[in-house]
Amino acid sequence: MREPRLLVCSCEKTMPLDEAALAKGCGGRITRADQLCGTELDLVKEALNAGGPITIACTQESALFAEVAEDLGVTESVTFANIRELSGWSDQAAQSGPKSAALIAAARQEMPPLSVVSLESEGVIMIYGRDESALEAGRLLADRLDVTVMLSRPGDVTPPAVREFPIIKGHARNAKGHLGAFELTIDETALAAPSSRDTLVFGAASNGAVSHCDIILDLTGGQPLFPAHELRPGYLRADPRDRAGFERALADAAQLVGTFDKPRYVTFTESLCAHSRSKITGCTRCLDLCPTGAITPNGDHVAINAEVCAGCGACASVCPTGAASYALPPADAVMRRLQTLLSTYLAAGGQKPVVLLHDGEHGTPLLDALARFGKGLPAHVLPLRVNEVTQIGPEVLAGAFAFGATGFVLLLRAKPKHDISGLHNISALTNEVVSALGFGSNLVQRVETDDPDALRDALDSFVPGTPSPAPAKFEPRGPKRSVLEITFRELHHAAPTPVDVVPLAAGAPFGTVEVKTDGCTLCHSCVTACPTGAMSDNPEYPMLRFTESACVQCGLCAATCPEKVITLKPQIDFRAWNAPIRTLKEEEPFHCINCAKPFATTSMINKIVGKLSDKHWMFTGTNAKRIDVVRMCEDCRVEAVMNEGFDPYEAKTRPPVMTTEDYLRARDAGGTDPVEN
């Protein structure tokens, strides 16, 4: 393979370049310049003509460099890395060489391809309003969209001189769907009479009408039809008193015709879902957090509507089994970039790195403003961009400390776009674990600001923890739960002062179960209910076993247990995570008294005998010996019943079911109890 090329530019000497640190961290052939986009553009052309992997440490002029590559017929992709705003334009630029190397190495990390969901809209729009503003919107959109105007409990509305579109009265009881597939249930529905004169007059109203459309323009000014309505594709809302907002909504509606691709934010694996078993609810973490209602119960698992999902990633961040995993990009891809960022920084001579996680829509402009108008980022703060900060799970936070980070800062809006309660819980969980392992206290922090200077102040006041004496070297790959397990094991190995057991707060996705073995009959209801296989049996022997690293504390085992002998205990026991599967209870099998075949456990048979013997008519009095059939296997039991002639008519005749008429008739006949008669 040809040697990788790296072209770095001082941007007309506005920032220093530490070539020694770049060589340590990035390797390959390094070409230094002061104006790659101008007088030294030939250096780019020469590198492109030479072929091989190329990284250009400039994103501002990436369009120019891509155009040059196209003109030269270069088909190999060129990687661009931003070291100017994120590293070089800083009051600590002289110490930012290791960070520049880390940013370049992380940019080279390949990310998986994006999967998309297609939404089809034919331009059928429902304009939902109260007054003439809805009719005005209809007139302005009628030449571009298929318009229907619905007025909710209108007052006096002047009818249009020319009827260009249907006008109805109605009140939306509920709504569901997305761009291209909305469904409205409407009450008080009535058509406008064509004979309406000074005001619109409507016919007889009816309830429960169902309407389908591609787009909804809500001009009622009332309660939105959807939760987190601003995140629902195809649902536009404006207050008709706000003329600018009204015009923007009309312009946006006119563009919603055709095929639209949106990312598939979440990958869902039904078989891993711990939501429910046998109509007993276990985990509801994702349902509790989804802001748009894209997640709904669906039997033993949940269903995620990819067309409605807004991509906050809260479901994936809290999903303990990995059934819901973020796909933009997957967690293991984010962790590989994180591992590259930290390992390169440390290899290039950096000290006490702090990871700054941010999104592109809010965080990137904030960091750009901080570099251009403020002091820039500190030299030890390594920015890592993701699609949404709320997508991050405990595996990423724990992985940062395992890879050598001494702090983790989550940059959020002053008024977060998504619910951050899940992120708060994950931060608290990670803080508990890293503190117990000796890294330090309060090392995962959230900064909620839209002010770049406030961000810098928060970063300056952040106190890094104790770095790992031996940072982990593993490469994260595979399903989310597998990555999470290996990450926490590696975190324990990398800890400054490791401990075996870390107690956790209730609701944590890790823990053990405690079983009162005296009451357990080894019925294995818990094994059947467990969605992760943490509870398991032994097909060759009456036994209940437990794998602690697989337990997600969903509680289905405890809820299903008929004896109620199982309780949950949130914790991380690293000894149990690394130990073989643990046996909770085992018994000698009970052998059939007729053929000696093992078919059940002794405790189960004794319990059944105790409940039936001398208590049930089939096993009392002269029939007392019949209880032996319970001690037989299924084959011998059938034979015994057939040979001995178990007669169900031997039971005492039950009194007939009496009606009110029977009691009244008995009363009229003299007050005798009809049952006694």
On whether residue 112 sits in a domain, the answer given is: no
- Predicted local distance difference test score (pLDDT) of residue 675: 52
217 strand-pairing partners: 127, 236
**pLDDT level of residue 634 (50, 70, 90 thresholds):** confident
User: Residue 375 above 90 pLDDT?
Assistant: yes
Where do we find the tokens 């006949």? Answer: 669
The torsion of the CA quartet 51, 52, 56, 60, rounded to 10 degrees, works out to 70
Same domain for 377 and 242: no
d(CA 128, CA 30): 61
On whether residue 301 sits in a domain, the answer given is: yes
On whether residue 85 sits in a domain, the answer given is: no
On whether residue 97 sits in a domain, the answer given is: no
Structure tokens at 540: 């060759």
Count of CB atoms within 10 A of residue 386's CB?
A: 21
Same domain for 350 and 411: yes
Question: Residue 209: which H helix or E strand, with range?
Answer: strand 209-213
CB contact at 8 A, 90 and 371: yes
User: Residue 674 above 60 pLDDT?
Assistant: no
Number of structural domains found in the chain? 6
User: Residue 648 above 60 pLDDT?
Assistant: no
Same domain for 514 and 484: no
CB contact at 8 A, 391 and 424: no
Same domain for 445 and 379: yes
Q: Pinpoint the alpha helices (H) of 351-504.
A: 363-373, 394-402, 421-436, 452-461, 480-494
Q: In CATH, what number is assigned to the domain containing residue 523?
A: 3.30.70.3270
Same domain for 371 and 418: yes
Q: Which residue has the higher pLDDT, 294 or 647?
A: 294
Question: Residue 100: which H helix or E strand, with range?
Answer: helix 97-107
Listed as own residue / partner, the contacts of 223-230 with beta carbons closer than 8 Å and 24 or more positions apart are 225/128, 225/172, 225/174, 225/175, 225/184, 226/175, 226/292, 226/293, 227/291, 227/292, 227/293, 228/291, 228/292, 228/310
Pick the closest to residue 111 from 348, 331, 260, 403 (CA basis). Answer: 331
Q: What is the largest CA-CA distance in the chain?
A: 120
Same domain for 49 and 176: no
**pLDDT level of residue 542 (50, 70, 90 thresholds):** confident
**pLDDT level of residue 469 (50, 70, 90 thresholds):** very high
Same domain for 202 and 319: no
- Predicted local distance difference test score (pLDDT) of residue 624: 66
What does each C-alpha distance from 623 to 492, 626, 653 come to in angstroms? 63, 5, 17
Structure tokens at 91: 């009051």
Range of the domain at 634: 589-646
- Predicted local distance difference test score (pLDDT) of residue 59: 96
- Predicted local distance difference test score (pLDDT) of residue 105: 96
Structure tokens at 581: 């599967």
Q: Which residue has the higher pLDDT, 131 or 652?
A: 131
d(CA 574, CA 576): 5
Highest mean pLDDT pick, 74-78, 336-340, 477-481: 336-340
d(CA 146, CA 141): 8
Of 7-11, 359-363, 521-525, where does mean pLDDT reach its minimum?
521-525
On whether residue 18 sits in a domain, the answer given is: yes
- Predicted local distance difference test score (pLDDT) of residue 440: 97
As a whole-number percent, the residues of the chain with pLDDT over 90 amount to 78
CB contact at 8 A, 369 and 429: no
The amino acid at 63? A
As a whole-number percent, the residues of the chain with pLDDT over 70 amount to 96
- Predicted local distance difference test score (pLDDT) of residue 659: 82
The amino acid at 254? A
- Predicted local distance difference test score (pLDDT) of residue 63: 95
On whether residue 482 sits in a domain, the answer given is: yes
Q: What is the DSSP letter of 657?
A: P
DSSP helix/strand/coil, 345 = helix
Range 37-52 average pLDDT: 93
Question: In degrees, to the nearest 5, what angle opens at C-alpha 409 toward C-alphas 352 and 328?
Answer: 115
Structure tokens at 551: 């337990």
Same domain for 540 and 424: no
CB contact at 8 A, 423 and 387: no
- Predicted local distance difference test score (pLDDT) of residue 671: 59
On whether residue 113 sits in a domain, the answer given is: no
Count of CB atoms within 10 A of residue 222's CB?
A: 13
The torsion of the CA quartet 446, 448, 450, 455, rounded to 10 degrees, works out to -40
d(CA 644, CA 544): 37
Of 232-236, 444-448, 459-463, 661-665, where does mean pLDDT reach its minimum?
661-665
Range 616-623 average pLDDT: 66
Domain end marker among 261, 282, 315: 261
CB contact at 8 A, 79 and 56: yes
* Intra-chain end-to-end CA distance of the chain, in Å: 102
Q: 488-535 pLDDT, tens per residue?
A: 999 999 999 999 999 999 989 999 999 999 888 888 999 999 999 999
Mean pLDDT across the chain: 92
Same domain for 599 and 581: no
Structure tokens at 134: 């809805």
The alpha carbon dihedral of 367, 372, 373, 375 has a sign of positive
Pick the closest to residue 133 from 254, 256, 252, 245 (CA basis). Answer: 245
User: Residue 676 above 60 pLDDT?
Assistant: no
Same domain for 206 and 71: no
Same domain for 507 and 490: no
CB contact at 8 A, 30 and 47: no
Q: Is the peptide bond before 378 cis (omega within 30 degrees of 0)?
A: no
Same domain for 356 and 310: no
Question: Residue 526: which H helix or E strand, with range?
Answer: helix 525-529
Range 394-423 average pLDDT: 95
543 strand-pairing partners: 586
- Predicted local distance difference test score (pLDDT) of residue 94: 96
Domain end marker among 63, 80, 97: 80
266 strand-pairing partners: 326
User: Residue 376 above 90 pLDDT?
Assistant: yes
Residue 530 CB contacts under 8 Å (≥ 6 apart), including other chains? 536, 556, 557
CB contact at 8 A, 480 and 322: yes
User: Residue 649 above 60 pLDDT?
Assistant: no
User: Residue 639 above 80 pLDDT?
Assistant: yes
Domain end marker among 567, 586, 605: 586
Q: In CATH, what number is assigned to the domain containing residue 148?
A: 3.50.50.60
- Predicted local distance difference test score (pLDDT) of residue 626: 79
d(CA 18, CA 15): 10
> Strand 181-191 vs strand 167-178: parallel, antiparallel, or unpaired?
antiparallel
Pick the closest to residue 44 from 13, 6, 1, 4 (CA basis). Answer: 6
Question: In degrees, to the nearest 5, what angle opens at C-alpha 114 toward C-alphas 490 and 294?
Answer: 85
What does each C-alpha distance from 391 to 295, 327, 363 come to in angstroms? 16, 10, 15
Q: What is the DSSP letter of 670?
A: T
- Predicted local distance difference test score (pLDDT) of residue 77: 82
Structure tokens at 556: 């289905």
**pLDDT level of residue 302 (50, 70, 90 thresholds):** very high
User: Residue 623 above 70 pLDDT?
Assistant: no
- Predicted local distance difference test score (pLDDT) of residue 521: 85
- Predicted local distance difference test score (pLDDT) of residue 646: 60
The phi, psi pair for 28, rounded to 5°, reads 75, -170
Q: What is the DSSP letter of 158?
A: P
Q: Which residue has the higher pLDDT, 172 or 622?
A: 172
Structure tokens at 452: 């770049």
**pLDDT level of residue 141 (50, 70, 90 thresholds):** very high
What DSSP string runs through 522-570? ---HHHHH-SSSSEEEETTEEEEEE-GGG-----HHHHH-TT--EEEEE
Q: Which residue has the higher pLDDT, 254 or 659?
A: 254
On whether residue 420 sits in a domain, the answer given is: yes
